[in-house]
Amino acid sequence: MEIEFWWLLALPLFFALGWLAARIDIRQVVHESRALPRSYLSGLNFLLNEQPDKAIDAFVEAVRIDPQTIELHFALGSLFRRRGETDRAIRMHQLLVDREDLSEEQRLQALGELGQDFLKAGLLDRAEAVFMRLRGTRADDVALRYLLEIYQQEKDWAKAIEIAGFLTDHDSLHWRTDVANFHCELATQALASSRFDEVRRHVEEALAINRRCVRASLIQGDLLLAEGRDEDALEAWKRIESQDPVYLALAAQRVMDVYGRLGRIEQGHQLLRSWLERHPSLDLLDELFHWEIDKLGAKAAYDLVREELRRNPTLLGLDKLLEAALLTAPSELRGDIDMIKQLIHGHTRKVARYRCDACGFKARQFHWRCPACGGWETYPPRRTEEFDLTP
């Protein structure tokens, strides 16, 4: 292969150009590093040495010396909010919003951060005003989600329904579950004031959005009962088995009360026994257990729990068995049985809680909306022990 003569001239030229470009880059890096405030570098050093408080003080000083550090403003504001220092976060982000040299994208970001600061501080009206300013912008979807959270905290369910209609994922199961519960909240309020037409409208809306909405069926049954339509109320509550049988325990007391008023106690008793056989539930067992003690006596309640324990052995079931045994045992054995019951009861307190499927939050009381993560219907009426026994 012959080498062209001009290649020999080009090689040194290329080398010289590469060396010159490297020198320019190095000078640029040195210039930029010298331009950084010394406190900024100190802050990085504190972060590396796991001294966050000193790092924050250093970064605040860097912002004071060089107000043009926009990204540092954002970072500090978010850090203050996470630490619960909402006043400092609000001041930091408000300064950014008021600046005239921000790009449109940066201004939207600053407004979004400021709205989150107000929300974290509990200033819901100011947070709402900020997120309303973001409507119709590129941050519209973010604004809608925060507005939805605000209206849920304020329990303004009508506005929550309206805002949810603008979300892009309004066909998802999560969206249908949430909005159906907004309608159920309004239906519950209307039922308390005997506004039956309004109750019916919201229940129908909830079921149209989510046909598996157990809460809507419960409220519908309550409405029909208030109107004197006992048989229709029973049908509404029976529908829960096809929607989600986990929630049958919530209807058990209602069902037994209506059957008792109709003079068909045995039919109601058999219905609950069949529910328990098909869908084992500690809450359902508890409802049936107390009903049998009151109506049929301790021996019947004892036989019920013993049969259920053979099918589904649980500590909570054993606690019920010992409770019934105390009522039927000879007096000389009651002391020993009571001692065993107290030991078992101490353990059942740990497994008798409800648990959120989404975040794991536990509490003794059932909630339609998780108090921790805010999820709707993520907090089923199942005790912790039942979760542990589920395959």
DSSP assignment string, 180-211: HHHHHHHHHHHHHTT-HHHHHHHHHHHHHH-T
Coil vs helix vs strand at 166: coil
* Cα–Cα dist 165/245, whole Å: 29
Contact 363, 372 (CB under 8 A): no
Two tokens at 199?
Answer: 């109750």
* Cα–Cα dist 181/186, whole Å: 9
Which letter does DSSP use for residue 376 in this model? B
Which letter does DSSP use for residue 146 in this model? H
| In the block, residue with structure tokens 């966050």 | 52
213 is in an annotated binding site: no
The CA-based dihedral angle spanning residues 295, 296, 302, 306, taken in that order and rounded to the nearest 10 degrees: -100
* Cα–Cα dist 116/61, whole Å: 24
Give every CB contact of residue 201 below 8 A, 6+ residues apart in sequence: none
* Cα–Cα dist 211/157, whole Å: 20
Two tokens at 321?
Answer: 């068995």
184 is in an annotated binding site: no
Contact 319, 309 (CB under 8 A): no
* Cα–Cα dist 214/246, whole Å: 10
- Distance spanning both ends of the chain, measured CA to CA: 74
Which residues is 216 bridged to in the sheet?
none
Q: Which residues are annotated as a binding site for Fe cation?
A: 356, 359, 370, 373
Q: Which residues are annotated as a binding site?
A: 356, 359, 370, 373
